[in-house]
């Protein structure tokens, strides 16, 4: 036997196996998605999204307090307006009395250390359910969309958000938002976390159930990236980096580790964020229910994969469990 053929000695003991990790999961890398509704006493479970709830402002704080006590460092907010009419431009998105702006203020009052990320999109707030403003023919009006998205982002920043995460996928929205922050003298205080490599596909269903954000017609294939487009994702990552993104999100995660690795190489000087989306999360739960996997083991195996692929931050519905497990 060649001496160099022997590897097993390096990982025979559990600790030596831990030592093989370039990076290890830690509480401070988790960002927990929160669905905030405009019904103040709501605490509604979401059938298709296990263990997740839609929170009214009265129930949100006590819930988040339990997680902060376990070491939660960051949340990402998704507003779910249920009692107001939606319109073509998503006016409700930055309604000063709406769920997102109210939640930003409430969370900052109660948890001054908590890092608040706001997803910025229109689909939860538009009558048509698309992520932008539409032209007559039902395709996206890019200019109006990026103006609207930038205004919503600016208003979240004015309300106190620490970080903006535009998930709309409109071309040029990062530049537009960065400029709006500069003009508002907020650019030095607010991080811009772009969903740069975000793919259309079949893994967002539970989220859309939770947020009521299904497109009323068509789909998002014309503005979220085609799952086959590895090169296109690289172009989007380069573009957003050049437009001023301070972090880039790859989403979904499990089927896109190659893209995550490219992101870590192309955007080597900014954090890459893995978003373990609702469909991926629900699939692992379904597999665990059928005893195909152990839930904790598969959560670690999948999330360690994101670190191996170069992610530094993880948006995950498993965050509460990891606060117990880590
Ligand atoms: N703005 C798009 C929302 C998008 C889902 C969709 O395309 O509807 C994601 C939220 N940023 C879904 C996230 C998830 O499935 O967990
Ligand atoms: Zn959207």
List the shell of residues around ion ligand 2, using CB closer than 5 Å. 121, 123, 131
Q: Full-prediction pTM beyond 0.95? A: yes
pLDDT at residue 4, rounded to an integer: 86
Q: Looking at residues 95-119, what average pLDDT do you find?
A: 98
Q: Looking at residues 4-10, what average pLDDT do you find?
A: 94
Backbone angles phi, psi at 111, to 5 degrees: -135, 75
Distance of CA 197 to the CA centre of its chain: 12
Q: Which ligand is nearest to the CA of 49?
A: 1
Residue 27 above 90 pLDDT? Answer: yes
First to last CA, the chain: 40
Any catalytic annotation for residue 234?
no
Mean pLDDT of the chain: 97
Residue 2 above 90 pLDDT? Answer: no
Cite the beta strand spans of the chain per DSSP E: 30-37, 43-45, 53-55, 74-80, 115-120, 163-166, 191-198, 247-251, 272-276, 313-316
pLDDT tens column, 8-19:
999 999 999 999
Kindly state the tokens that stand for 309. Answer: 């692929």
Q: Is the CB of 280 under 6 A from ligand 1?
A: no
Coil, strand or helix at 119:
strand
- Tell me the C-alpha distance between 259 and 240, whole Å: 15
Residue 1 above 80 pLDDT? Answer: no
Which of 53, 59, 178, 251 is labelled catalytic? 251
Q: Is the CB of 55 under 6 A from ligand 1?
A: no
Of 188, 35, 225, 37, the closest CA to residue 118 belongs to 35
Between the CA of 213 and the centroid of ligand 2 the distance, in Å, is 7
Q: Is the CB of 207 under 6 A from ligand 1?
A: yes
Q: Tell me the best of 77, 167, 202 to mutate to test the pocket of ligand 1, counting ligand atoms within 8 Å of each CB and taking the most.
A: 167
Cα 135–Cα 141–Cα 144 angle in degrees, nearest 5 = 120
What number does the ligand 1 atom closest to the CA of 167 have? 1
Residues in the chain: 326
- Tell me the C-alpha distance between 189 and 46, whole Å: 34
Cβ–Cβ contacts within 10 Å for residue 66, how many?
A: 11
Between the CA of 12 and the centroid of ligand 1 the distance, in Å, is 41
Closest residue to atom 6 of ligand 1, CA basis: 204
Q: Is the CB of 157 under 6 A from ligand 1?
A: no
Who's near 169: CB < 8 A, 6+ residues apart? 131, 195, 198, 220, 223, 224, 225
pLDDT at residue 197, rounded to an integer: 98
Residue 3 above 90 pLDDT? Answer: no
Of 136, 312, 134, 107, the closest CA to residue 223 belongs to 134
Per-residue pLDDT band at 251 (split at 50, 70, 90) = very high
Percent of the chain with pLDDT over 90: 98
Q: What are residue 75's DSSP bridge partners?
A: 32, 116
Q: Looking at residues 59-78, what average pLDDT do you find?
A: 98
3-state helix, strand, coil in the chain (%, to 5): 45, 20, 40
Q: Looking at residues 44-73, what average pLDDT do you find?
A: 98
Q: Residue 165 in contact with residue 120, Cβ under 8 Å?
A: yes
pLDDT tens column, 184-211:
999 999 999 999 999 998 999 999 999 9
Per-residue pLDDT band at 103 (split at 50, 70, 90) = very high
Which of 53, 59, 86, 198 is labelled catalytic? 198
Q: Residue 180 in contact with residue 153, Cβ under 8 Å?
A: yes
Between the CA of 156 and the centroid of ligand 2 the distance, in Å, is 16
Coil, strand or helix at 180:
helix
pLDDT at residue 52, rounded to an integer: 98
Any catalytic annotation for residue 198?
yes
Backbone angles phi, psi at 115, to 5 degrees: -90, 120
Kindly state the tokens that stand for 193. Answer: 């976390």
Asked if the peptide bond before residue 82 counts as cis, ω within 30 degrees of 0, the response is no
How many C-alpha atoms does 227 have within 13 Å on its Cβ side?
Answer: 9
């Amino acid at each position: 036997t060649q001496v160099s053929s022997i590897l097993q000695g390096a990982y025979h003991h559990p600790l030596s196996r831990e030592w093989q990790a370039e990076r290890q999961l830690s509480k401070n890398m988790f960002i927990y998605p929160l669905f905030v509704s405009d019904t103040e006493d709501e605490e509604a479970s979401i059938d298709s999204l296990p263990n997740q709830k839609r929170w009214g402002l009265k129930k949100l704080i006590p819930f988040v307090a339990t997680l902060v006590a376990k070491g939660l460092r960051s949340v990402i907010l998704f507003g779910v307006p249920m009692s107001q009419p939606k319109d073509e431009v998503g006016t409700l998105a930055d309604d000063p009395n709406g769920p997102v702006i109210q939640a930003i203020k409430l969370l900052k009052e109660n948890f001054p250390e908590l890092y608040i990320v706001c997803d910025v999109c229109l689909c939860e707030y538009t009558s048509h359910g698309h992520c932008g403003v539409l032209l007559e023919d039902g395709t996206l009006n890019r200019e109006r969309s990026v103006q609207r998205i930038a205004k919503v982002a600016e208003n979240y920043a004015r309300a106190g958000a620490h970080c903006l995460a535009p998930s709309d996928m409109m071309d040029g929205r990062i530049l537009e938002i960065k400029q709006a922050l500069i003009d508002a003298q907020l650019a030095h205080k607010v991080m811009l976390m772009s969903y740069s490599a975000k793919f259309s596909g079949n893994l967002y269903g539970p989220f859309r159930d939770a947020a009521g954000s299904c497109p009323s017609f068509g789909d998002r294939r014309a503005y979220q990236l085609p799952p086959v487009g590895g090169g296109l994702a690289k172009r989007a990552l380069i573009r957003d980096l050049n437009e001023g993104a301070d972090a880039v999100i790859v989403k979904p995660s499990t089927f896109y580790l190659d893209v995550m690795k490219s992101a870590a190489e192309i955007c080597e000087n900014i954090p890459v964020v893995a978003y373990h989306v609702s469909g991926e999360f629900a699939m692992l739960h379904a597999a665990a229910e059928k005893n195909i996997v152990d839930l904790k083991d598969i959560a670690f195996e999948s999330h360690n994969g994101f670190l191996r692929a170069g992610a530094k931050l993880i948006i995950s519905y498993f965050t509460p469990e990891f606060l117990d497990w880590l």
